[in-house]
Structure 1
C-alpha cells in the first residue's frame, strides 16, 4: 500500500492573511484517493482540521453571510432607483361629461365656428362673400366632408374624448435623508458579524479539543493493540515451552491445555482491540474531513513529561485569563451590545423618516385613428386629411417632479413603547445569562484543574506500579528459565505487566484529555501552522 504523507501547505495563510477564508486547494487532503494510507502527527491533524473540518467550513459560510447582511443593511441608505412601465388599451371609455350640462357646451363649438366664418365674411372686403345661416353652414360643411370622402368627426357616435392606447414609462429615485432605523440596522449587522467571528473562534477551539480527544483515543487504542500483541507473542513462546515441558514429562497435559486456551482468548481480545483501533482512526478521519475509506496511521505515543504541565496553576488567575480569551465570553458581551442596538432600532420609530425623491415619466396617449382632418387653406368647406406618426409630439409628454416626503407615526396604540419594554427585558435576561456563564466558567476551570491533578497522581502511581510489574515479570521469567518457577507464574506476571501498561496508558490518556479540556476552558488561542 502506498504511504501518503500529508503536507500542511499554508494553513496559517488560510486563516491569518485571507480573513478566515476557506480554500479547498490549499492542502493536500484533496489529492487523496480512496484506500491511501495517511500518516499524521497530532499537530498535523489539528492543522488539517482547521482547514478541512465540516463544522469550521460551515462557520466560515456563516461569516460570509454576515458580511453580506452588512452590505444589505447599507443598501437601505443608498439611493433607491426604480423603473416602471405600463400599457393600457381602453376598449370602451365613458363620456366624462355624461349627465351634466357640460355636453351642451361642446355641442355649441360648431356655432362658434359659424360665427367666426360670418365675421370673416363681413370683414374681408369681398362683396361675393356674405354671412350665411347656421343651418347652411352645417350643410356646406357636411357637403365638404362628403366631397372629400371623409366621415365627419363624431358621426360614428364614438366618444370624442376617448384615447385607445395609453403608455407610461417612469423612473424614480429616492434617497433617505433621515432614517434612524436604517442606520441602527447597519450597526446591528456589524455587531452580528462580531458574533459570528466569535462563534468561528469558539468552533475552532471546540474542533481542536475534539480532534485531540479523537487523536488520543485512536492513539490509546493503537497502544492497547501493541500491548496485547506483545502479550500474545510472549504467551505463544510460553505455550511452546509448556508443550516441550509436557513432552519431557516435567509438566502435565493440563498445564499445556490451560496455556493454549489462554492464548486463544488473548488472540480474540487482540482482534477486538484491532477493530476498536480501526474505528477510532476512522472517527478521527471524520473529524479531519478526510474520507473514512483512507487508513489513518498515527505518529506519536502516549507519554507524559513535565512540559505537559498547565501554563497557569492558579485557579483565580486562570479564570481571569478565561474572561479575556474565551470567545463565548466575548460573544455574550457582543450579544448584550446587539440587544442595545435593537433597542435603538425600536426607539427610532418615535421619530419620522425623511426621504428626497425625483420622478421622471414619459407618457403617451396614442389613438388608434391618427388621421387629422383640416380645411384647405383659403377654402373653408374643402377638407383634406393627413396621418400623424405613432411618436408624434402631440401624443407624448414628459413629466418631472422632485420633492421631500416625510412619514411619521404619531400614535400606534403604544406598540412602540411596549416593544421598547420587551427589549429592556431581553437585555436583563442576557445579563442574567452572562452572570450564569461566568460562574459556569469558574466551575469548569476548577473541575478541569482537579481532573488534571487526579490524572497526574494516577500517572505517578502507575509509573511506580509499572516498574514493579516489569521487575516481577523479569524475575518470574528468569525463575522459569532456571526451572525454579512455573509457566503459570510467568503467565500471571505477564498478565500483571500488561494490565500495568494499560493502566499507565489510560492514566496518561485521561491526563491529556483533561489538559485539552483545561486549555479550552481558559480559551487558549488556536494557532495555525507557521
Structure 2
C-alpha cells in the first residue's frame, strides 16, 4: 500500500500549489524509500519500459492473427493509352498507309473496391519470436527490480548522509557553545588580571575554527538534503526533516544478523540468465529461417468503369473477382548470412556462460568483502566512540584544572582540539559503517526485503 504521506505529496504537486513559504516534510527512512520508488525518474522509466515490453508481446502475437486490408481506388485517364497493332491481314486496314494501327483500349474512368486477407499457416520464426517477446518481458521485470535496488541503495546512502551531517552540526554547535562560555570566562579573568591576553587569543582562535567547522557542516547538511531529494524525485521547493536517529536505524542485533546471513539470489543473475535465453532463442530463430513459410492468401475485388464519372458507378458496369491461394516461400541460398548469424549466436552464448561463472564468483567475493568491511568499520566505530568519550573526559579534567587554577590555558585548548578531532573521526567512521551496511545488503541481495507495499 502506498504511504499516506506519498499520496498527499503527489496531490499537492498535481494541484500546482505555489507558495513563498517552503513546505517541510517529516520523513523516516521507509517513507523516503516508498516515495523514491514511486517518483524517482529512473524507477518511473523502468516501469514504463515494462509496459513497452508488454505491448511488444501483443505486437508479436498479432503477426500470427489474420491480416485484413481494404482498398479503394478511382482513376481518371485524360488521354486513354494507345496500343499499336500490326496492320496485317486479316485485321489490317489497307486505307492506312502505316504498317501499324493505333488503337485505344480503355475508358476515361475506372474504380474498384477490394479486401485482402492473409493468414500465416506455418512460420517457424513466429513461435520462436513469441517466446522471445515473453522472455524480453521477463527480462524487463528484472531490469525494473535492478533499477529499484539502485534507487534504494542511493536513497539509503543519501539518507544516512543527512543524518550524519545533522549530527555533525549538533556536535559543532555544542563545541561552539562550550567555547563561547570558556571565552567569556577567560575574558573576565583577563580583565581581572588573572590570565594573560594570549589565553584569550588562543580560545578565540579555537572558537573561530569551530565556527568555520559549523558553517561547513551546515553547508554539507544542505547539500546532502538536496542529494536525498534528487534521489527521491522530490521537488526542490520542499524541505525535509528526518524523524529518526542513527541509533534507531543501526541496532547492534541487526548488524549481527546481516553478518550471519548467506547471500540470496541476486537480480543480476536473473538478468544474465534471461539474456542467455534470448540469445538461445535468436539461435533457434536463425535455424528456423531455413524452413519454408506457408501463407494463405485471399482477395475479393469489385471493379467498375465508364466514360463518365456518373456512369462509372452504375451497377451494370461493376463486376466481381476473387482469389484464394496458398504461398510457400522456400529459402535456397542467402550468401551464407544465416550461417554467419548462427555462428555469432554460438559465440555470444559462450560469452554469456562465461559471464555467469564470473558473476557467481564475483558475488561471493562481494559478500566476503562487504562483511569484512562492515566488521572492520564496526570495530573502528567502537574504538572511535571510546576515543571520543576519553577525549571528553580529558577536556572535562582540563577545564576543571583550568578553573581551579592548576591547569594551563594551552592544555585546555589542546584538549578541546583533541575532542573535536575525536568527534570528527567518530562521525567519519559512523558514516563509513552505514555505507558498509548498505553495501552488504546489496551484496546479499536483500535491499528490498524489508519493503512491504
Q: CA deviation at 1:28?
A: 6.2
Q: CA deviation at 1:417?
A: 1.8
User: Which of 276, 284, 289 is equivalent to 1:349?
Assistant: 289
- Alignment of 1:400 with 2:322, yes or no, is yes
Alpha-carbon spacing, 1:246–1:53, altered in 2? closer, same or farther (3 Å): same
Alpha-carbon spacing, 1:86–1:390, altered in 2? closer, same or farther (3 Å): closer
Corresponding residue of 1:501: 423
User: Which of 257, 262, 266 is equivalent to 1:311?
Assistant: 257
Q: CA deviation at 1:313?
A: 3.4
Alpha-carbon spacing, 1:30–1:273, altered in 2? closer, same or farther (3 Å): farther
Query: For the Cα contact (< 8 Å) 1:97–1:103, is it kept in 2?
Result: no
Higher mean C-alpha deviation, range 487-496 or range 413-422: 487-496
Corresponding residue of 2:43: 56
User: Which of 41, 52, 58 is equivalent to 1:71?
Assistant: 58
Partners of 1:310 and 1:438 in 2: how far apart? 24
CA RMSD of aligned residues (A): 2.6
Alpha-carbon spacing, 1:481–1:24, altered in 2? closer, same or farther (3 Å): closer
Corresponding residue of 1:87: 74
Where in structure 2 are the equivalents of 1:23-42 lying within 5 Å? 35-42=22-29
What is the TM-score normalised by the length of structure 1?
Answer: 0.77
Partners of 2:89 and 2:135 in 1: how far apart? 68
- Give CA-to-partner distance per residue, 1:453-476, whole Å, 9 cap, x none: 110110221232222222222222
Corresponding residue of 1:519: 441
Where in structure 2 are the equivalents of 1:164-203 lying within 5 Å? 164-203=108-147
Q: Secondary structure at the match of 1:412?
A: coil
Q: Secondary structure at the match of 1:103?
A: coil
Query: For the Cα contact (< 8 Å) 1:211–1:287, is it kept in 2?
Result: yes
Corresponding residue of 1:43: 30
Q: CA deviation at 1:399?
A: 0.9
Q: Secondary structure at the match of 1:413?
A: coil
Partners of 2:259 and 2:206 in 1: how far apart? 47
Query: For the Cα contact (< 8 Å) 2:119–2:297, is it kept in 1?
Result: yes
Q: CA deviation at 1:92?
A: 2.6
Partners of 1:297 and 1:507 in 2: how far apart? 23
Q: CA deviation at 1:9?
A: 2.7
Q: Extract unaligned runs of 5+ from structure 2.
A: 96-100
Q: Secondary structure at the match of 1:411?
A: coil
Corresponding residue of 1:528: 451
Where in structure 2 are the equivalents of 1:139-158 lying within 5 Å? none
Alpha-carbon spacing, 1:269–1:286, altered in 2? closer, same or farther (3 Å): same
Q: CA deviation at 1:393?
A: 3.7
Q: Secondary structure at the match of 1:498?
A: helix
Q: CA deviation at 1:290?
A: 0.9
Corresponding residue of 1:152: none
- Alignment of 1:442 with 2:364, yes or no, is yes
Partners of 1:193 and 1:10 in 2: how far apart? 32
Query: For the Cα contact (< 8 Å) 1:81–1:171, is it kept in 2?
Result: yes
Query: For the Cα contact (< 8 Å) 1:360–1:398, is it kept in 2?
Result: yes
- Give CA-to-partner distance per residue, 1:97-154, whole Å, 9 cap, x none: 444546359x9xxxxxxxxxxxxxxxxxxxxxxxxxxxxxxxxxxxxxxxxxxxxxxx
Q: CA deviation at 1:251?
A: 0.4
Q: How many residues align?
A: 439
Alpha-carbon spacing, 1:444–1:269, altered in 2? closer, same or farther (3 Å): same
Q: Extract unaligned runs of 5+ from structure 1.
A: 1-6, 12-22, 108-156, 370-387
Query: For the Cα contact (< 8 Å) 1:24–1:52, is it kept in 2?
Result: no
Where in structure 2 are the equivalents of 1:259-298 lying within 5 Å? 259-298=203-242
Partners of 1:217 and 1:305 in 2: how far apart? 18
Query: For the Cα contact (< 8 Å) 1:9–1:27, is it kept in 2?
Result: no
Larger Rg: 1
Where in structure 2 are the equivalents of 1:364-443 lying within 5 Å? 364-368=304-308, 389-443=311-365
